[in-house]
Chain A
Amino acid sequence: MAQPATYSALDAERGDFYLHLLRQMVLIRRFEERAGEAYAQGKIGGFCHLYIGQEAVAVGAIAALGPADYIFTSYREHAHALARGMTPRAAMAELFGKVTGCSKGKGGSMHLFDVSTGFLGGHAIVGAHLPLAAGAAFAAKYRGSDQVTVCFFGEAAVNIGAFHETLNMAALWKLPVIFLCENNRYGMGTALERASAVYDISQRACSYDMASEIADGMDVLAMYDVTHRAVDRARTEGLPTLIEARTYRYMGHSMADPIHGHYRTKEELEEQKQRDPIESFKARLLDEGLLDGETYDQMESVIADDVDDSIRFSEESPDPDPDELFRDVYRD
């Protein structure tokens, strides 16, 4: 099996950038922890899929994008929205179903949108947003802009027809799109090995003569570097890339699902947590003197305040007006 790209070396000149990445990862983790808590308290309804463990993927990849680029994601997308700059308030209020949420409380946890940053959604039919991403890339090419589209999806989506149809068209039409597969090993409770005839997802690209790379999805810098190369390929050559990010999900598939049990062991979970993307990156920065304990504590404290504030804001925000029920069905 192919091996992921190795650690990128740290560059002392880029200390601020590294702190930015760390800050985003910590924000996402705290946000998700508090979301889980609010879910357990019944303040968040429906399905709620947490991203804990996978932070390096969204943060590293999105850091490699330009401001005009487009992002499509699946339903495990709180992290991507935050990494793209959505405020914790707008995201949390949406989870709470409040009118102050990014989608006015009408989308919920699985349907975060922010057109102003090109964050084109949380989509909740597995694999069905891949064609949408190709469509945005088609539009960029049609208009002659240099916008790149990145589409995040789980490894379970590679077995659905939309994946094949889309990769074929993207390669055929040379679309500036990056298919970023977050391989967290389990599609809900089914291990990759039990669902896919080919374990090495990056190899799927061969069918479409498409470039592919494997990245260590627990290493935020590796994610950044790999994505950066793919963005270059898309922007300058107009070519698509399939990236397989090998990562791990600490939580259950959704808040309603067991963290471990019949489908994976607690031991496996504990072992994976040793590769924690936040802890390992933090340790590297400390080792190399790019971060000190005090700065980190300060960062944690600001983030805790931000997330607390988002919870308070969401609790205090009003529900959508009853008239909202019939608004936005059609555009006049």
Chain B
Amino acid sequence: MEALSPTMEEGKVVSWLKQEGEGVKTGDVLAEVETDKAVMELQARGDGVLRKIVAEEGATVEVGSLVAVIAAPDEDIDALLEEGAGSGEREPGRQEQEAEGEQRAGAPTATVAPPVRTPGQPSPPPARPAPLPETADGARIKASPLARRVAAERGIDLKIVQGSGPGGRIVLRDVEAAQAEPPVPPPALALRDEGFEDAKLSQMRKTIARRLVESIGPIPHFFLTTEVDMERTAEARQALNALGEEPRISFNDIIMKVIAASLREHRDCNAWWQEDHIRYFNEVHLGMAVAIDEGLITPVIRHAHQKTLRQIAVEARALAERARVRKLKPEEYTGATFSVSNLGMLDIDQFTAVINPPEAGIVAIGSITEKPVVVDGAVVVRKRMRMTMSCDHRVIDGATGARFLQTVRRMLENPLAIVW
């Protein structure tokens, strides 16, 4: 069936003007076909004999499908007829292209059920951008974009600001007049004595779900795992803590320090995927996933590469504590250039963490366990730790990630390298 109009998708054979067995010449009218526009003539496109009529009178057939076969009187047409039975096969033409276009335009974006989170699963990334602030009863706070921005810059919680604009809108002058006060804690989960618990989705939970889908979905992940000998790190930690000064240094603090130092050497891992570009950072702002009652959040140690181990230890504790009481300011949990998730304290040997977009990588730290390994030809018991790096392949290639992990491993196996 030929396309006899720009919009024709199918044609109805009104009548055949040639009979099977009749000779035809190019240009002869074979049949009358009703298109979406008019009754048109279907003309022969070659000379021969009308051997077989496939589409009977009255039949409606798709453009591109077989309607009849013109061939030499003795030519074998079985193969043609067979092929035609599968039909609709022709070179992609107008109709197909348009149909494709419609599909593209009209297709809903794939709906993905929010992943069910089970205990032990890696922590999903925190919310970014920050959800719009809400009042204590969950109503949206009305504020001008400028007021929002200025409030965020000055650490003023819009919940405590009285709006003077139409409908209570908070405008610039209101923010300027307001005093910063601690935010009202969120309402506790409603518990009921039943076989199950219905917990209303908090804004944070919604955001986690959305972000997780966003991450698993479009990001081409790949994973690199390496096992690290932690003997010397353990010795170093012990020696530092033997000094008796607060705070005590945790393995996590050392790992953070090492990763920050390594990222300085591997800027190609310290980057954001920006859809139309990649942003590489000279500074390292290291996110650390912290589990809290409502879920998790990733506070950020800013300029981590410039900070001493002690500074990192102090800051990490303070941030984790503020995270647990939900007092983090937006700027304290946004803007990480790379993240670390540590489930070692929960006895997880090894896991993969989910990338926190637009960051390009995250390292998942497992527990430190004693296991037999071969050192210099002898089996000995050593403290070993597995770490797995999740990489956004759009930014980080296999070897790039591997080289970065190698640096991390070498530093952990020889902590003096931190000061080298």
Any chain B CB within 8 A of the CB of A47? yes
Shortest Cβ distance from A35 into chain B, in angstroms? 13
Residues on B with beta carbons closer than 8 Å to the beta carbon of A41: 2-3, 90-91, 93
Residues on A with beta carbons closer than 8 Å to the beta carbon of B4: 40, 255-256
Tell me the B1-50 residues at the A interface (CB within 8 Å). 2-6, 8, 27, 35, 37-41, 45
A258 and B93: CB pair below 8 A? no
Any chain B CB within 8 A of the CB of A261? yes
Residues on A with beta carbons closer than 8 Å to the beta carbon of B40: 252, 257-259
Q: How far is the CA of A18 from the CA of B92 in the complex (A)?
A: 42
Residues on B with beta carbons closer than 8 Å to the beta carbon of A258: 38-41
- As a 0/1 sequence over residues 74 to 99 of chain B, the CB contacts with chain A under 8 angstroms (1 = contact) are 00000000000000001111111000
B38 and A40: CB pair below 8 A? no
Q: How far is the CA of A47 from the CA of B37 in the complex (A)?
A: 13
Shortest Cβ distance from A180 into chain B, in angstroms? 28
Any chain B CB within 8 A of the CB of A296? no
Any chain A CB within 8 A of the CB of B287? no
Question: B94 is contacted by which of A37, A45, A252, A259 (Cβ under 8 Å)?
Answer: A45
Any chain B CB within 8 A of the CB of A313? no
Shortest Cβ distance from A124 into chain B, in angstroms? 14
Residues on A with beta carbons closer than 8 Å to the beta carbon of B39: 258, 261
Q: How far is the CA of A95 from the CA of B311 in the complex (A)?
A: 70
Task: Identify the closest chain A residue to B63 (Cβ).
Answer: A42
Shortest Cβ distance from B338 into chain A, in angstroms? 34
Tell me the A198-251 residues at the B interface (CB within 8 Å). none
Residues on A with beta carbons closer than 8 Å to the beta carbon of B401: none
- Known A-B contacts A40-B4, A41-B2, A45-B6; the reply to A256 vs B37 at CB < 8 A is yes
Task: Identify the closest chain A residue to B45 (Cβ).
Answer: A37
Any chain A CB within 8 A of the CB of B344? no
Any chain A CB within 8 A of the CB of B125? no
A43 and B91: CB pair below 8 A? yes
Task: Identify the closest chain A residue to B1 (Cβ).
Answer: A40
Any chain A CB within 8 A of the CB of B126? no
Question: B91 is contacted by which of A33, A42, A46 (Cβ under 8 Å)?
Answer: A42
Q: How far is the CA of A212 from the CA of B345 in the complex (A)?
A: 100
Shortest Cβ distance from A263 into chain B, in angstroms? 10
- As a 0/1 sequence over residues 150 to 175 of chain A, the CB contacts with chain B under 8 angstroms (1 = contact) are 00000000000000000000000000
Shortest Cβ distance from B55 into chain A, in angstroms? 15
Q: How far is the CA of A40 from the CA of B63 in the complex (A)?
A: 9
Residues on B with beta carbons closer than 8 Å to the beta carbon of A255: 4-5
Any chain A CB within 8 A of the CB of B415? no
Residues on A with beta carbons closer than 8 Å to the beta carbon of B8: 256
Q: How far is the CA of A310 from the CA of B95 in the complex (A)?
A: 23
Any chain A CB within 8 A of the CB of B64? yes
A42 and B95: CB pair below 8 A? yes
- Known A-B contacts A252-B40, A258-B39, A258-B40; the reply to A42 vs B5 at CB < 8 A is no
Question: For A33, A37, A42, A257, which residue has the most chain B Cβ atoms within 10 angstroms?
Answer: A42
B91 and A256: CB pair below 8 A? no
Interface residue tally on B, bucketed by range = 20 to 34
Residues on A with beta carbons closer than 8 Å to the beta carbon of B90: 41-42
- As a 0/1 sequence over residues 276 to 290 of chain B, the CB contacts with chain A under 8 angstroms (1 = contact) are 000000000000000
Q: How far is the CA of A188 from the CA of B38 in the complex (A)?
A: 13
Q: How far is the CA of A259 from the CA of B92 in the complex (A)?
A: 26
Question: B41 is contacted by which of A33, A45, A256, A259 (Cβ under 8 Å)?
Answer: A259
Tell me the B83-120 residues at the A interface (CB within 8 Å). 90-96
Residues on A with beta carbons closer than 8 Å to the beta carbon of B94: 42, 45
Tell me the B280-334 residues at the A interface (CB within 8 Å). none
- Known A-B contacts A41-B90, A42-B63, A43-B91; the reply to A257 vs B6 at CB < 8 A is no
A256 and B5: CB pair below 8 A? yes
Residues on A with beta carbons closer than 8 Å to the beta carbon of B27: 33
Shortest Cβ distance from B50 into chain A, in angstroms? 17
A40 and B2: CB pair below 8 A? yes
Task: Identify the closest chain B residue to A255 (Cβ).
Answer: B4
Question: A47 is contacted by which of B2, B6, B35, B41 (Cβ under 8 Å)?
Answer: B6
Tell me the A105-148 residues at the B interface (CB within 8 Å). none
Q: How far is the CA of A261 from the CA of B5 in the complex (A)?
A: 16
Q: How far is the CA of A252 from the CA of B6 in the complex (A)?
A: 14
Task: Identify the closest chain B residue to A40 (Cβ).
Answer: B2
B38 and A257: CB pair below 8 A? yes
Q: How far is the CA of A259 from the CA of B17 in the complex (A)?
A: 15
Q: How far is the CA of A130 from the CA of B40 in the complex (A)?
A: 32
Shortest Cβ distance from B17 into chain A, in angstroms? 11
- Known A-B contacts A258-B39, A261-B38; the reply to A46 vs B6 at CB < 8 A is yes
Shortest Cβ distance from B169 into chain A, in angstroms? 40
Shortest Cβ distance from A234 into chain B, in angstroms? 38
Q: How far is the CA of A299 from the CA of B3 in the complex (A)?
A: 31
- As a 0/1 sequence over residues 20 to 61 of chain A, the CB contacts with chain B under 8 angstroms (1 = contact) are 000000000000010001011111011100000000000000
Residues on B with beta carbons closer than 8 Å to the beta carbon of A257: 37-38, 40
Residues on A with beta carbons closer than 8 Å to the beta carbon of B5: 255-256
Task: Identify the closest chain A residue to B38 (Cβ).
Answer: A258
Task: Identify the closest chain B residue to A48 (Cβ).
Answer: B6
Q: How far is the CA of A253 from the CA of B4 in the complex (A)?
A: 12
Q: How far is the CA of A40 from the CA of B39 in the complex (A)?
A: 15
Residues on A with beta carbons closer than 8 Å to the beta carbon of B95: 42
Tell me the A256-289 residues at the B interface (CB within 8 Å). 256-259, 261
Shortest Cβ distance from A48 into chain B, in angstroms? 9
Q: How far is the CA of A37 from the CA of B6 in the complex (A)?
A: 14
A interface residues with partner B (beta carbon < 8 Å) = 33, 37, 39-43, 45-47, 252, 255-259, 261
Sample of 6 A–B contacts (CB below 8 Å): A42-B63, A43-B91, A46-B6, A255-B4, A256-B37, A258-B41
| Nearest 3 A/B pairs, CB to CB | A42-B93, A40-B2, A256-B5
18 other contacts beyond A37-B45, A256-B4, A259-B41, with CB at 8 A cut-off? A33-B27, A40-B2, A40-B3, A40-B45, A41-B93, A42-B3, A42-B93, A42-B96, A43-B93, A45-B94, A46-B6, A252-B40, A255-B4, A256-B6, A256-B38, A258-B40, A258-B41, A261-B38
